[in-house]
Amino acid sequence: MSQLAYADPILTCEEAAQFERSFFKSQQHVWTVMQMAGCQLAEHIAQDCQELGTPLSDLNGIVLVGKGHNGGDALLACAKLVELAPELGWVMCMSHRPEQMRPNTRRALEYVQARLPNAEFYYISESNDFLARLEYLLSKPRQWLCIDGFVGFNFRPPLSRDLVEVIQMVNASRQIVLRAAVDLPTGLSSSPVADAPVFKADFVYATGIVKKPLFDGSGRWGRVRYLDLGFFDHMQAEPSQNSFVLNARALEGMRRLRPTLCDKRSFGHLLIVAGSRQMPGAMILCVQAAIRSGVGRVTVLAPQSLLPQVALAAPEAMWLAGAETARGQLSGRALDLLQEQNGCFTACVCGPGMGSGSDTLELVQGLVQQSALPLLLDADALQPEIIPALKLRSLAKGSATVILTPHLGEYRRLLQSDALDSSAEKLHQFSKKTGCVTVLKSAQTCFSNGEQLVYSPFGGPVLARGGSGDLLAGLIAGNLAQPGSDSLAALACGLALHGRAADDLAMAKGAHCVAISELLAFLRPKSSAKSQYSAL
């Protein structure tokens, strides 16, 4: 198992090759794992097709099959998809003859040929008319699913001319509505070539091991889905970059029964410092998410004038009327009320909907300096002026964890730079400088404690809406407030819960016509069990 119970290592292509050489004991072992990968691929592709709003049975499939194991994974996924949607028609584009394939890829091809008698099979190196046939098929008024299994992590550039022509054609087609890459998109490698074509994946299904090139492009290679095949269940891997990807075990604590002898005091008391007259909604979203995190109690410090209109939006919460400015924002004098409540809370989140100004800044700085609680700062609390206070706090013995949750714009503001550097190195440096754990929200959300970098493979464009970060802040902070909670594990749980709810929302309603508050109805810890299909 990796160093983090809730995450598995991200390996370079070279490390992955070395790992697999030691992991696989026989060709039969490879075949067994290939069947698991094919089944999980089919299940995830079928789920992700739901986001289109088009039934899987209404699509046709193009499969790009190479000679390696990812070609075998793609073939076996087709066999399982036909079980799920028998109406699917398939066009198989083969880069090599069967005798040139790896043994288990050839075995997968024979398996599929026996079960898909109506599929079209083309060997592109021998079919001069294949590109014309593909162009003809893609000109028809029908929608296609394209699965890319041409080349895997052992690929060394450049691509052959035949593969380049196929990749360019499928990339350009508007009839292909979902592009799924197995392991790595064809053309992507550990040694990228400028301007070389890369398969334009919507989703990349990392089979067993997540490879580092997937996180070298800030999300431009497609959404990453991690298919956990159990590679790291019983052995240790040593990643050179100390980078990890969240797995389903991040939600393990939420799948356990709670003790019979308990009450609301057993599960912590979260303080939320948020809201302003201009942005009460951000505060309400944060509060509603926190209530659903499992924390026992939630108390909200908000501007006094807001309370009559917002308290009914979350009747489960308790409300403190804070001193406010003429603009309806919390003022530094609100700290006096918190000092009276000293010892009541187990964690605090500050920032959603607060607005910016000198009074608000005074409140945030005072909270950082005076509070000994685990603290999450989000949104308007993320100002560069708080960094000196964060540094001083981090030097104090026994100081509790501070988590910062900026999106890219807020991160740029904290760095006080017009040019955004979202590299892992810069994130590590910033986290060490402030003594905080920093969550950088983007197409590939990740967090750093200055030592380790952990990416979340959950969530997608449905989260590109105002209020998404407020929900995330409430979920993480609610986990952080629960007694005995490890801060990084609480953070991982909040990210996974938020991201998986987003995935479920998109599958249920698509990514367009939804409100971000609908995500609350999809919060649930799903099972981490491996695919029910261990073999085909």
Ordered by start, the domain boundaries in the chain are 7-247, 266-522
> Could you read off the pLDDT of 163-218 as tens digits, one per residue?
999 999 999 999 999 999 999 999 998 887 778 899 999 999 999 999 999 998 77
Between the CA of residue 219 and those of 52, 242, 258, 378, what are the distances in Å? 20, 19, 38, 23
Three-class SS state of 40: helix
- pTM to 2 decimal places: 0.94
469 Rama class: left (phi>0) / alpha (psi -120 to 50) / beta: alpha
CA dihedral of residues 61, 62, 68, 72 (deg, nearest 10): 20
Residue 455 buriedness (CB in 10 A; 0-12 / 13-18 / 19+):
buried
Beta strands in 129-238 (DSSP E): 144-149, 176-182, 203-207, 210-211, 223-227
The domain 266-522 is classified under which CATH number: 3.40.190.10, 3.40.50.300, 3.40.1190.20, 3.90.1150.10?
3.40.1190.20
CA dihedral of residues 528, 531, 534, 536 (deg, nearest 10): 180
Alpha helices in 404-526 (DSSP H): 408-415, 424-434, 468-480, 487-509
pLDDT band (50, 70, 90) for residue 533:
very low
- Side chain identity, residue 461: P
Report which DSSP code applies to 348: E
Task: With beta carbons less than 8 A apart as the criterion, state whether 459 and 499 touch.
Answer: yes
Task: With beta carbons less than 8 A apart as the criterion, state whether 355 and 327 touch.
Answer: yes
pLDDT band (50, 70, 90) for residue 525:
confident
70 Rama class: left (phi>0) / alpha (psi -120 to 50) / beta: alpha
Q: In percent, how much of the chain has pLDDT > 90?
A: 83
Mean pLDDT of the chain: 92
The CATH number that domain 7-247 falls under is 3.40.50.10260
pLDDT band (50, 70, 90) for residue 528:
very low
Q: Is the pLDDT of residue 274 over 60?
A: yes
pLDDT band (50, 70, 90) for residue 240:
low
Structure tokens at 25: 């004991």
The Cα 455–Cα 217 span in angstroms is 13
> Could you read off the pLDDT of 386-420 as tens digits, one per residue?
999 999 999 987 789 999 999 999 999 999 988 88
The Cα 57–Cα 145 span in angstroms is 11
The Cα 257–Cα 261 span in angstroms is 12
Q: Which residue has the tokens 């929302």?
A: 505
First to last CA, the chain: 27
> Could you read off the pLDDT of 146-156 as tens digits, one per residue?
999 999 998 98
Structure tokens at 323: 């001193």
